Structure 1
Amino acid sequence: MTADVQPPRRALIVRGGWDGHQPREATELFIPFLEANGFRVEVHEDTRVYADARTMSGFDLIVQCNTMTVIQGDEIAGLRAAVEAGTGMGGWHGGIADSYRNEADYLQLIGGQFAHHAGKHPDERIGEQSDNYLPYTVTMTELGREHEITRGVDDFDLVTEQYWVLHDDLIDILATTTTPARAWDPWKRPVTSPVFWTRQWGEGRIFVSTVGHRVEVLEDPTVRTVVERGLLWAARTA
């Protein structure tokens, strides 16, 4: 008698938007990982699939890497319905935390939105992405030190974009970073923002990393480990 063979879980990748975040290259980095963990991966280059309720009901995980752009009303409604019904969702940086600025319903779903990243001193800027690359520390919270996504991960340092995030208190914050107030900044005290967080929405789980500006950041061993764990955590469970 043979054991029952479970069908593969299905992951949807939706990518696009600003090319500076390397949506194609960044998502390709994680496809082998997902396949090795039992997912059949389907890739879409736009958001139209979100409006197809029958198709969306078959996915166990949505990985979104789509910075800015515009989403239609039926698409955001379909995305929210899928997550509420149990489809997990995860992503990194602007691909999930700076998507669809035209839709408040998307912001409510994710729980946090990119607002700013501080830059170098104006005299040091050269008009490139590197103008916003600053050294900073990612600090684990007490929850983060215990959570399965970040258990065993210590505070760590990066040199990349440091997201200032507007967020609500329905998110569970696993790590934070603090943007200092420098002499030339208009804000006058440090601002602490979440770096990694989770969110329960209906039956669905959401994982967000604000770290992941480009492939070289996602290839950092600590960042990659957390993102991979986050995607698996978010995916629909039996």
Structure 2
Amino acid sequence: MKAAFVTFYKIEIYCEDAEKIEWENIKVYQESEPIEISIINKKKDHCEIILSEPVDIKRKTYISIKDKCFEVPYSNLFKTEEFNEKYYYNGFLGCRILDDKIEFRVWSPIATSIDLLLYKNGDPTFQEDPIIFNMKEKNGVFSGEVDLKYKGYFYTYKVQIYDKIEEVVDPYAKAVGINGLRAAIIDLEETNPYNWQEDKYVKLENYVDAVIYEISIRDISSNENSNIKKGVSF
């Protein structure tokens, strides 16, 4: 037996011998709370369950029939236009430094809560208690603001999704610390080398004309002709 949400109200259940199943005995739960079923549409090879209220995707949904109970995934729902219309967002995501504050935004409609964790060090192997800020959600987007004094710090998110809590790096981070495990609060324009704005790039008529090399910084800096002061120290 397989089931999936296809809208916020509708579950489709496929199984062998669907016509022989007593669908009237089916029950739907969000966590342990029952959800009222509005309509049961019996089909030849499947059954449609129409709920009386939209499902809350931040909570797991289960179906119970006779002595069997199984989870109903949301993966098909996430692909629908209905989901897109409800949670679509095309604004800023990540971390940015403004004139009077530092702003964070991350998109995660299924998250129950997200906390912002600030660290002085970009290396997680150093023992350090983070400074924790609770982020507020609006329509699937979690946001938070901190003082400019935290510029130069590193950050992660503590995310709760269903019964799991994990510390993760910002998927929209523009710079990271050691091994990419903590995102950096940084103004990239302040990291530009002297006269960077005067740098000229090679203009190509076609991108396929570009010749691109990939090389280890350690290897290229170890050559005595590199003129790098601290070679082989990367």
TM-score (norm 2): 0.25
Q: Which has the higher contact order (CA 8 A, sep 6+)?
A: 1
Q: TM-score, normalised by structure 1?
A: 0.25
